[in-house]
Amino acid sequence: MKIGVVGATGLVGREMIRVLEEIDLGEETFIPVASERSAGQKVSYKGREHTVITLDEALEQDPQIVIFSAGASVSREWAPKFADRGAFVIDNSSAWRKEQGIPLVVPEINAAVIRPEDRIISNPNCSTIQLVMVLAPLHRKFGIRRVVVATYQSVTGSGAKGMLQLENERKGIAGPLFYPHTVDLNLIPQAGDFTGNGYTTEEEKLAFETCKIIGDDNIRVTATAVRVPVYGGHSEAVNIELERPFEVSEVRELLSGERGIVVQDDPAAGIYPMPKFTRGSNDVFVGRIRRDNTIANGLNLWIVADNLRKGAATNAIQIAQYLIQSGLIR
């Protein structure tokens, strides 16, 4: 088994390597890949140093699985080339998420949509992944009419440049600005670029991707995405209008039984999810579970997850794991 990671020297790429070390995919040859300017660098994998190679060189090695985290333009150009040679491509960019016929996958929810001929598989947006992990079981049991979500997104979601701006500001160092405003001791109500309708690209991704992954275009989703000066992960305040009546105890029991979800919900004891404590975890944490008495069948939740883990690297590696375990790769 040959597994390539494209963007191996980047923030998410390095996290993918760490998750690959933790999740056993069997005997494999690891191929770190990056741009020509990064070729020749060394990355460590399972105690050994590996030399980063270019995309052209990786293509000649015919890997069975290639995980991309190098941006949409790179994925658009190179993912089809690997797919044409028989590889399964798992892409972490936005390049393929809206493409009809290309699966958008969170393994716990909809891995079964992947067919043998689906050689490009899209990894959803980080905020979407943690949201649908909670919404999907609720939709199966109670049905969902509408979702209103406000995201509080870590600077790690912007990669190294966003983190560097925050670090420089905290140290009082003048440096390049990634965000349009100071991010330290501030909240920026913009994640992504603004579109013509007043929403940002991050907000639109949440709406579209949620419906595609759950498989129901009738779910109405509206979002506000906010950048916050934290490192540990993304947080979401979620208001849900369900179709059928529920008890809060039912919701807690349902979510507690879901793989990959950890319920932390004892507010009186100060127990609820916080990004400071989710960093490095592959799970999605949910708390502040309570009824919204202003509408029929209304529910409020607070969801937190490490956006570099389940929101990106872990989900991608879990897709690779599914491809192997399901027999799609022989």
Among the options 139, 181, 211, 234, which is catalytic?
234
Tell me whether residue 126 is one of the annotated catalytic residues: yes
How far is 67 from 120, CA to CA, in rounded Å? Answer: 10
Task: Specify whether 139 is catalytic.
Answer: no
Catalytic residue (one of 126, 139, 181, 211): 126
Q: What angle do CA 260, 323, 309 make, to 5 degrees?
A: 35
Tell me how far apart the alpha carbons of residues 160 and 180 are, in angstroms, rounded to a whole number: 16
Alpha-carbon gap, residue 183 to 191, rounded angstroms: 12
Q: How far from chain centre, in Å, is Cα 43?
A: 23
Spell 76-98 as b/e; 16+ CB within 10 A means b.
Answer: eebbeebbeeebbbbbbbbbbbe
Distances (CA, A) of 214 to 119, 137, 302: 21, 10, 20
Rounded Cα gap, residues 120 and 99, in angstroms? 10
Report yes or no: 144 and 243 within 8 Å, Cβ to Cβ.
yes
Number of CB atoms found within 10 A of residue 120's CB: 22
For 221-239, letters b (16+ CB in 10 Å) and e give: bebbbbbbbbebbbbbbbb
Task: Tell me if 164 sits within 8 A of 175, measured CB to CB.
Answer: yes
Instruction: Supply the residues annotated as catalytic.
Output: 126, 234
